[in-house]
Amino acid sequence: MLGLKVNVLKITQNELKIEVEGVGHTLCNLLQKELLEDKDVDLAGYDIPHPLASNPVIYVRTKGQTTPKEALLRAVMKLLEVGEEFGKELEKALKT
């Protein structure tokens, strides 16, 4: 297991800020990209306050049609689907 841990720093009707231990830019960039493609998301981003000592902080603000929790969970599910599809295509390609 990766040793991930998620801490909720702020949660309101339209805003969510979480700190994620055990990840870096790769996952955060993917989540940010997916969140920004969601029509219900007003703002999405992340910050790594110090690359050697800090965990990423992910921020999501929605337009009010959905909660930031729902938007973040949708983005995670979409990334899981993409990863699964990539895995299947990679297996096919490597069989040749």
Instruction: Name the token pair of 28.
Output: 């955060």
pLDDT at 45: 97
59 and 68 Cβ atoms separated by less than 8 Å: no
CA–CA distance, 68 with 74 (Å, rounded to integer) = 10
Under-70 pLDDT residues of the chain: 1-2
pLDDT at 38: 97
Report how far apart, in Å, the C-alpha atoms of 85 and of each of 76, 80, 91 are: 14, 9, 10
Q: How many domains does the chain have?
A: 1
54 and 24 Cβ atoms separated by less than 8 Å: no
31 and 82 Cβ atoms separated by less than 8 Å: no
pLDDT at 52: 79
6 and 20 Cβ atoms separated by less than 8 Å: yes
Give the SS3 label for residue 77: helix
pLDDT for 25-50, tens place per residue? 899 999 999 999 999 999 999 999 88
Domain CATH number, residue 85: 3.30.1360.10
pLDDT at 16: 98
pLDDT at 50: 82
Domain extent, residue 73, equals 5-94
pLDDT at 12: 96
